[in-house]
Structure 1
Amino acid sequence: MHTEFPALLGAGLILLFIFYLGYLAIKIKLPNVILYIILGIILADVLHDNELLHFASEIGIVLLFFLLGLEFNVERLGGIAKRIWPSGLLDVVLSLGVTTGIAFLFGLSPFESFLVGGIVYATSSSITAKLLDDRGRMANTETEFMLAILIFEDLVAPIVVAILFGVSSGESFTSLTFLLLVGKIIGLTALAIVLGKTVFKKFERFLDRIDDEDFKIALLIGIALSYGGLALFLGLSEVLGAFLAGMMLAEIGRIEKVEQTVFPVRDLMLPTFFIYFGTTINLGDGVPMAGLLISIIVWSIFSKVLLGIIGGPLYGLSKRASMRAGFSLCARGEFSVVIASVATGMMKVFSGLYIVIAAFIGMILFEQAPKITNKVYGKPVKKKRNLKVPGS
């Protein structure tokens, strides 16, 4: 007698796998994102096109960008832009622009080339922030520059995702299509700013009056999913909508009131996004476009090192700190996964291979960044302090 495998049992086993891989990641000091993607690749035959996993993954990624948007109110966005924009634009040119050109020279279509550029563009915020904290480098002089670059990328990447999402239907990419997409993005952003400055300006007082945490979860996650859904309805990405929903609520005084409610649900759902992405990668046909893959990996590393060496001094860093920053920004992760989810067929396999390889190489370079810098500039000389005895 054949019994269909219960979805409830499958969901329970997935959660147990997530727990084990998260625990294993702590033990072996490896970002859990990579392990989740590998699990998805292993279970691809079993979980491919699983609707429940796909839905959970969408909730997870929406909440990730919703919480990210909470960190950026309009005033803060303006302050960051004034100081980081020269280095940020250099990053766009090197990592997004040049990579797109390389892919185009290898014979890819304009859309596929821009897709590859988008995948290569953004440094992994989660991997980099985790390594900075784990390795005790939060107080380093280059850390502020690195975090500013991550913030700049976090602002540009959702727009890249929205553009790719809008043209992924296979229709020809025209200037009119681009202008229409940009118009929708501007409109959705303007609506978020207006709502943030009006409706949500006194939202903190309203939250304080809600004693039942269950209702608060329904309200906050409902806002995130609704604005993400509105973006989808307009033909944009739910990622951009969720980010803008976070921006709306960033106008309240204490965003931690929102974060502490949403964090547990985000942490439960987000791993399913990386697992689901892994299930969409089919490695049975070997390595596609090996020449392009090698070229992109080499350039993606070189572009971030160059960003540090050139962009660091523009931000006010020393040459030593700038090089250390460049070698510490090479890991790719969640944004690359989000952008790669637009890909299909061989491009999906290519994207998955690149992300896994770039994440591993990026973590190794992060670990070796201080040693590499010391070999180039020599070990830093500790300044001697002239301590005077009182009364002498």
Structure 2
Amino acid sequence: MPTEFPALLGAGLILLFIFYLGFLSIKIKFPNVVMYILLGIFLSDLVADSELLHFASEIGIVLLFFLLGLEFNINRLGGIARRIWPTGLLDIGLSLGVTTGIALLFQLDLFSSFLIGGLCYATSSSITAKLLDDRGRMANTETEFMLALLIFEDLAAPIIVAVLFGIHSGEDLTVVTFLLLAGKIAGLALLAILLGKTLFKRFEAFLDRIDDEDFKIALLIGIALGYGGFALYLGLSEVLGAFLAGMMLAEIGKVEKVEQTVYPVRDLLLPAFFVYFGTTIELGNGIPMAGLLLTLVVWSVLSKVLVGVLGGPMYGISKRASLRAGLSLCARGEFSVVIAGAAAGMLKVFSGIYIVAAAFTGMLLFEQASKITNKLYGKPVKKKKNLKVPR
């Protein structure tokens, strides 16, 4: 007599698949995010309704944003904002604003258009950082500018997610509802700052007194999930709450003590988020809104190139380095996946196809960025040192 397929066996097999794809991505130097999404699409008929996979994915994405928030204490946020804000606002206008307008021209409703704008906004931090490291470009002139812009997007993306999930109920976005939503976001942020400056000011000394790592894991992940859950209770996004929870703990100074405890759990569960997203994509009915998809992939590239070309000089780098930066910022990834979580039906299928296409296109342009720049500006001339032969 056949028995029901055990969820535990399914979880074990998925983890083994994740291990293999992660190992393979290192060998072929291909971002594992895309491979995990493709795995989810492949397994969609088998695990689409898995509550275990869904719950693991929720924890994984919450911990991703929690650790991201740890990188931003209040002083660092101010320092970054002073130099990158003109380029960051340009990025929002081109990548989010114009894209939303394009979707409206294709006769989508305002919520769907804004969702697509958010989908096309943020560059994938994980893909871009990995490629910079793998290709030995961390010391390049444009790298500081690129990382600063990624940080700006990391800050803006949770707010965009919060707005999207706040209006996801289907209600019309009126001035009153928008102000109420903005008030909730501001209140949640102010509470996080207040707790960071008071309750968590001596948190580092408290952590040092905890010798048992099991208790420490429970405490830190409990804080991340608790504040993320509180954001959900307020009708906001859990990723915004998790990000703010990380900001609270960023005030302790040595965040490495928190990171080394949380990283292993995040690395275990985060792939589940991308696999789960893949299971929600159904490709049986072909490519929806193919004209819009092609338009957005092209504009996604142009918008980031313009952000680099126009924003780089404002940051203080050369035109050559600015173009190379713009061509290297085109990949979309984890933030697009998070934003696509608010989509449904055909729009979710569209989002999944766009993310995979944009990731491929972005990686290809990253590889060719230096060659394209050299063709336009010529090969850089190495400065000769004026060496004098001693007599």
TM-score, length-scaled by structure 1: 0.99
Which SS does the other structure have where 1:121 is aligned?
A: coil
Question: For the residues of structure 1 that align with 2:27 and 2:178, how far apart are their CA atoms?
Answer: 46
How big is each residue's C-alpha offset from its partner over 1:180-214, in whole Å with a ceiling of 9 and x where there is no partner?
Answer: 11100000000000000011111110001111111
State yes or no: 1:59 paired with 2:62: no
State yes or no: 1:243 paired with 2:215: no
Question: For the residues of structure 2 that align with 1:176 and 1:291, how far apart are their CA atoms?
Answer: 35
What's 1:372 paired with?
Answer: 372
What's 1:100 paired with?
Answer: 100
Q: How much identity, in percent, do the aligned residues show?
A: 79
Q: In structure 2, what residue type is equivalent to 1:310? A: L
Q: In structure 2, what residue type is equivalent to 1:194? A: L
User: Residues 25-64 of structure 1: matches in 2 within 5 Å?
Assistant: 25-64=25-64
State yes or no: 1:14 paired with 2:34: no
Q: In structure 2, what residue type is equivalent to 1:136? A: G
Q: CA deviation at 1:49?
A: 2.3
Question: For the residues of structure 1 that align with 2:213 and 2:121, how far apart are their CA atoms?
Answer: 38
How big is each residue's C-alpha offset from its partner over 1:55-97, in whole Å with a ceiling of 9 and x where there is no partner?
Answer: 0000000000000000000010011001000000000000000
What's 2:254 paired with?
Answer: 254
Question: For the residues of structure 1 that align with 2:285 and 2:181, how far apart are their CA atoms?
Answer: 35
Q: CA deviation at 1:253?
A: 1.7
Q: CA deviation at 1:169?
A: 1.1
How big is each residue's C-alpha offset from its partner over 1:155-175, in whole Å with a ceiling of 9 and x where there is no partner?
Answer: 111000000001111111111
Q: In structure 2, what residue type is equivalent to 1:137? A: R
Q: In structure 1, what residue type is equivalent to 2:154? A: D
Question: For the residues of structure 2 that align with 1:106 and 1:77, how far apart are their CA atoms?
Answer: 37
Which SS does the other structure have where 2:120 is aligned?
A: helix
What's 1:220 paired with?
Answer: 220
Q: In structure 2, what residue type is equivalent to 1:28? A: I
Q: CA deviation at 1:387?
A: 1.8
What's 1:350 paired with?
Answer: 350
What's 2:163 paired with?
Answer: 163
Question: For the residues of structure 1 that align with 2:371 and 2:200, how far apart are their CA atoms?
Answer: 48
Question: For the residues of structure 2 that align with 1:141 and 1:177, how far apart are their CA atoms?
Answer: 44
Q: In structure 2, what residue type is equivalent to 1:272? A: A
Question: For the residues of structure 2 that align with 1:385 and 1:336, how far apart are their CA atoms?
Answer: 47
What's 1:230 paired with?
Answer: 230
Q: CA deviation at 1:138?
A: 0.3
State yes or no: 1:90 paired with 2:90: yes
Q: In structure 2, what residue type is equivalent to 1:138? A: M
What's 2:336 paired with?
Answer: 336
Which SS does the other structure have where 2:284 is aligned?
A: coil
What's 2:193 paired with?
Answer: 193
Question: For the residues of structure 2 that align with 1:28 and 1:129, how far apart are their CA atoms?
Answer: 17
What's 1:267 paired with?
Answer: 267
Which SS does the other structure have where 1:169 is aligned?
A: coil
Q: In structure 2, what residue type is equivalent to 1:335? A: F
Q: CA deviation at 1:176?
A: 1.0
Q: In structure 2, what residue type is equivalent to 1:91? A: D
Q: Which runs of 4+ in 1 moved over 6 A?
A: none
Question: For the residues of structure 1 that align with 2:49 and 2:249, how far apart are their CA atoms?
Answer: 34
State yes or no: 1:291 paired with 2:285: no
Question: For the residues of structure 1 that align with 2:107 and 2:253, how far apart are their CA atoms?
Answer: 51
What's 2:205 paired with?
Answer: 205
Q: In structure 1, what residue type is equivalent to 2:92? A: V
What's 1:384 paired with?
Answer: 384
What's 1:114 paired with?
Answer: 114
How big is each residue's C-alpha offset from its partner over 1:101-138, in whole Å with a ceiling of 9 and x where there is no partner?
Answer: 00000000000000000000000000000000000000
What's 2:80 paired with?
Answer: 80
Question: For the residues of structure 1 that align with 2:139 and 2:213, how far apart are their CA atoms?
Answer: 36
Which SS does the other structure have where 2:232 is aligned?
A: helix
Q: CA deviation at 1:309?
A: 0.4
Q: CA deviation at 1:388?
A: 2.8
Listed as ranges, the gaps of 5+ residues in structure 2 are none
Question: For the residues of structure 2 that align with 1:276 and 1:239, how far apart are their CA atoms?
Answer: 16
Q: CA deviation at 1:385?
A: 0.5
TM-score, length-scaled by structure 2: 0.99
What's 1:323 paired with?
Answer: 323
Question: For the residues of structure 2 that align with 1:266 and 1:4, how far apart are their CA atoms?
Answer: 30
Q: In structure 2, what residue type is equivalent to 1:213? A: E
Question: For the residues of structure 2 that align with 1:18 and 1:362, how far apart are their CA atoms?
Answer: 23
Question: For the residues of structure 2 that align with 1:105 and 1:166, how far apart are their CA atoms?
Answer: 24
Which SS does the other structure have where 2:384 is aligned?
A: coil
How big is each residue's C-alpha offset from its partner over 1:25-74, in whole Å with a ceiling of 9 and x where there is no partner?
Answer: 01111000000000000111111121110000000000000000000000
Question: For the residues of structure 1 that align with 2:106 and 2:260, how far apart are their CA atoms?
Answer: 47
Q: In structure 2, what residue type is equivalent to 1:111? A: F
What's 2:123 paired with?
Answer: 123
Which SS does the other structure have where 2:349 is aligned?
A: helix
Which SS does the other structure have where 2:132 is aligned?
A: helix
Listed as ranges, the gaps of 5+ residues in structure 1 are none
Question: For the residues of structure 2 that align with 1:341 and 1:364, how far apart are their CA atoms?
Answer: 26
Q: In structure 2, what residue type is equivalent to 1:17? A: F
What's 1:134 paired with?
Answer: 134
Question: For the residues of structure 1 that align with 2:175 and 2:368, how far apart are their CA atoms?
Answer: 44
Q: In structure 1, what residue type is equivalent to 2:346? A: M
